[in-house]
Amino acid sequence: QVSLRESGPALVKPTETLTLTCAFSGFSLSSSGVSVNWVRQPPGKALEWLAAIDWEDDKFYSTSLRTRLTISKDTSKSQVVLTLTNMAPADTATYYCARADGLNFGFDIWGPGTTVAVSS
């Protein structure tokens, strides 16, 4: 059974760096075409795609946030890690990780999300 689950701090201070982990099971990030994506959703607002890492370790970032984002994977641990630097209140959101099971495939399996608040 394919599943993903996000983990990380529920509260961070402004200017701090956020580190989120996506632990997944039931699939391999070494399989051709597979990618893990991060998406966030501020309260009451729309989904925003942040970053992706694929089976070849290629990394892709949101144009507007690329200078603050880093994505990496640990295939042996079945984990993907996202860092977002210089956190601000506008970064308060639910952060999701989601799998795409091939090129030109949508995000077919999502984690339940983890809520992050930014406040001093």
Residues interacting with another protein, by CB under 8 A? 37, 39, 46-49, 52, 60-64, 96, 98, 104-108, 110-113
Closest distance to another protein from the beta carbon of 60 (Å) = 6
Nearer to another protein, 45 or 120 (CB): 45
Q: Say if residues 93 and 65 touch (Cβ distance below 8 Å).
A: no
Closest distance to another protein from the beta carbon of 19 (Å) = 21
Closest distance to another protein from the beta carbon of 10 (Å) = 16
Which of 56-91 are b and which e, b meaning 16 or more Cβ less than 10 Å from the residue's Cβ? eeebebbeebeebbebebeeeebbbbbebeebeeeb
Nearer to another protein, 15 or 64 (CB): 64
Q: Say if residues 7 and 114 touch (Cβ distance below 8 Å).
A: yes
